[in-house]
Chain A
Amino acid sequence: MSSQEQQQTGRTATMSDAMVEAIASEMRADEEVFYMGEDVADYGGIFDSTTGLLDEFGRDRVMDVPISETAYLGAAVGAAQAGMRPIAELMFVDFFGVAMDQIYNQMAKNTYMSGGSFSVPMVLTTAVGGTYNDAAQHSQTLYGTFAHLPGMKVVVPSTAYDAKGLMHNAIRDDDPVVYMFHKRLMGIGWMPAPDGPKTPVPEEEYTIPFGKADVKREGDDVTVVTLGLHVHRALEAAETLADEGIDAEVIDLRTLKPLDRETVVESVRKTGSLVVVDEDYQSYGVTGEIISSVAESDIEALEAVERVAVPDVPIPYSRPMENAVIPGAEDVAEAVRSVGE
């Protein structure tokens, strides 16, 4: 871990524990914070996003809601406009379609359309990602879809440390924040996580500012920019490449909106090559955005570039096909080798 803000602490936590810790601490501090979603009370969230909150805060503040995403996500917008600080969970990001208007046209735009007379201080939490063969309606990441729209901040943690700091920030922010957590990183009993996301986490509260990427591994030869689960796949690739004498720098974006273009450009100035890795569909997405940012600010620095993302196909069910479309550590390593040539 090279995170600059990270303090030494003996205690490690899973990403879900770290997230919940931040939510609980904000709920203790502010009566106006409440959490609603499907299966968030007794179940504790399908992906352990609310474990233990019902016991401490009761049903008024940890609310199971009907399977009516339009109604409850819209209700979060309304409560936020009334000055409360709701956190509303969309169980899988893939389900956003049934409530697209509330997300896209209300939550994201009301601040602007009201000329700033209303603010919408809510957090939309949602699980993203594949890698367990749940097919096309339950495996998307949709980073690009959410980051595309003006008016929302978009956060994608990859470690427990980041998850906690970013959650504190998200709840305190006066704007709508979409907090996208990868299922595979949470440390859920039935879905083993890689070791990476389980990091030391301080007990006390701390915030991680939005728009500040984190260099998760320093290196001189090539810049690998990524987020979420793929931070860990990129780090794994970097270890393999180190054995081959290639020194890769791995940048974790951590937030998509705002986006820390500077850290990326600086790194490319140092290494000359850029590989962008994303678990979302390739076209019109994060990879294109990062590459164009570098090209716009310093095209001279860019000697070689590759992108590794999901080709423009829905996520298939069967394992050989899912493995083919979701980038693995080997795909990342291969792309890094090819820009190094």
Chain B
Amino acid sequence: MYEDMVTARLYEERLQEEYMEGKRPGFDISAGDIPGELHLAAGQEAAAVGVCHHLRDDDTVTAPHRPHHVAIAKGVDLKRMTAEIFGRETGLCHGKGGHMHLFDPDVNFACSGIIAQGCPPAVGAGMAAKKRNTDSVAVAYLGEGAIDQGGFLESLNMASVHDLPVVFVIEDNDWAISMPKERVTSPQDGSARADGFDMHGVRVDSDDARAVYEAGAEAVGRARDGNGPTVLEVQVHRRMGHFMGDPETYRPEEDQERAAERDSIERLAADMREFGIDDEELEEIRDRAAERVDEAVTWAKQQPLPEPEAAHDHVFTNPPSGVTDEEPEFSDAGAAAGGDD
């Protein structure tokens, strides 16, 4: 658990550096090796590992726009995930999805960048497990800002009324971009949403990985044993801006400081020391994680970019007749230009 948390943290720090490559001077979101938006999750690791460490490959996880820590905890292929973030051909989604839309069928991991819209598919995965009489479970991750979305509330009802093996994990980092939850959400406690749907709700009030692990064991166990869904809310702290490039002018200084102080990784390390794990061992874990991150990033950056024509593949699994993978004539105008016409 500690190793995954450290891997996720180092990964985010490395991506933060890589992202800025080619974007300066003057920040240009469309420049550099990793373009598009990048939402980092440093500070939220406890919520990811505390639950995902109870999961198997055949359990489903749906993640939102801030997915890396959850993906790492679920065992998504780190190299191919990194290649995807760099837009490379050998990335998890062949460069089609990018950082907010990571899909790894080997460990049943999927994402959506539309708020709360990972919830209904998690309900579907739970439904499939129940119909097939397997004991796999589904976990939908979402932010505290997402609990105001219809897709979440409708999913709660559906999961509850059909008694489905689904766990909804709310990562409460207090902010939805610039909007603090006091201003947009009532009531504040996301786990209390469960009451209205006659299901279990529990809130872990601190980003303490061990406490999340215990709560996660109960929620996942309940789902696995056929005893229905749970809403599990975890207080976490967003260390970075909402996305890279966020000026964060809306955020009070104290809030940033608090996020830096309340570090779930340091907290877990302290606990481990108490259990007799010495600094040398912790350092070894850290080194292993750093090496893994470095390997993934180095590998990813050596991967080829996709060919432009590849944009036309994968629109369908089974292309209907009349649809071909051939590029329409007009779109290679760019390539043809400058020729002899």
Interface residues of A (CB under 8 A from B): 38-39, 41-43, 46, 64-71, 94-95, 97-98, 131-138, 189-192, 282, 306-308, 311-314, 316-325, 327-328, 330-331, 333-335, 337
Contacts and interface: CB of A to CB of B under 8 A. Distances in A.
Interface stretch (B11-19, B214-222, B331-339): B331-339
A140 to B, nearest CB: 12
A39 B183 CA distance: 11
Given A67-B184, A69-B149, 9 more contacts: A38-B176, A42-B249, A137-B112, A306-B330, A308-B333, A311-B327, A313-B315, A327-B331, A331-B330
B100 A135 contact: yes
B30 A133 contact: yes
Contact of A190 (B28, B183, B184, B312): B28
14 contacts: A65-B184, A67-B148, A94-B114, A134-B36, A189-B27, A313-B315, A314-B315, A317-B84, A317-B87, A318-B305, A320-B307, A324-B334, A330-B334, A334-B333
B186 to A, nearest CB: 9
A313 B117 contact: no
Contact of B179 (A64, A190, A282, A313): A64
Contacts of B151: 98
A314 B311 CA distance: 9
A136 B309 contact: no
A133 B36 contact: yes
A39 B116 CA distance: 17
Nearest to A240: B337
A46 B341 CA distance: 43
A337 B309 CA distance: 22
A311 B312 contact: yes
B117 A132 contact: no
B58 interface: no
B108 to A, nearest CB: 20
A132 B30 CA distance: 4
B106 to A, nearest CB: 20
Given A191-B28, A318-B87, A137 B308 contact: no
A192 B28 contact: yes
B163 interface: no
A39 B117 contact: no
Contacts of A320: 305-308
A133 B35 contact: yes
B100 A43 contact: no
A317 B330 CA distance: 21
A67 B149 contact: yes
Given A39-B177, A135-B36, A189-B27, A318 B95 contact: yes
Contacts of B26: 189, 192
B185 A66 contact: yes
Contacts of B124: none
A203 to B, nearest CB: 27
B98 A318 contact: yes
Interface string B26-42: 11111000011100000
Interface of B: 26-30, 35-37, 84, 87-89, 91, 93, 95-98, 100-101, 112-117, 145-146, 148-151, 176-179, 183-185, 245, 249-250, 305-312, 315, 327-328, 330-331, 333-334, 336-337, 341
B254 to A, nearest CB: 16
Contacts of A312: 315
Contacts of B89: 318
Contact of A98 (B88, B97, B150, B178): B150
A331 B333 CA distance: 5
Contact of A70 (B114, B150, B250, B315): B150
Which of A46, A94, A322: most chain B CB closer than 10 A?
A322
Contacts of B112: 137
Contacts of A94: 114
B250 A133 contact: no
Contacts of A323: 308, 334
Contacts of A190: 27-29, 245
Given A46-B177, A67-B148, A320-B305, A191 B250 contact: no
B312 A313 contact: yes
A131 B87 CA distance: 14
B96 A321 contact: yes
A301 B148 CA distance: 54
Contacts of A65: 184
Contacts of B29: 132, 190-191
Contacts of B115: 67, 95, 98
Contacts of B91: 318
A43 B98 CA distance: 26
Which of B112, B117, B308, B333: most chain A CB closer than 10 A?
B333
Given A42-B250, A317-B36, A97 B337 contact: no
Contacts of A335: 330, 333
Which of A71, A306, A330: most chain B CB closer than 10 A?
A330
Contacts of A38: 176-177, 179
B341 A319 contact: no
Contacts of A138: 36-37, 100, 113
B331 A318 contact: no
B27 A318 contact: no
A137 B331 contact: no
A137 B100 contact: yes
B91 to A, nearest CB: 8
A95 B114 contact: yes
Contacts of B327: 311, 324
A67 B176 contact: yes
A335 B310 CA distance: 22
Which of B114, B146, B305: most chain A CB closer than 10 A?
B114
Contacts of B341: 337
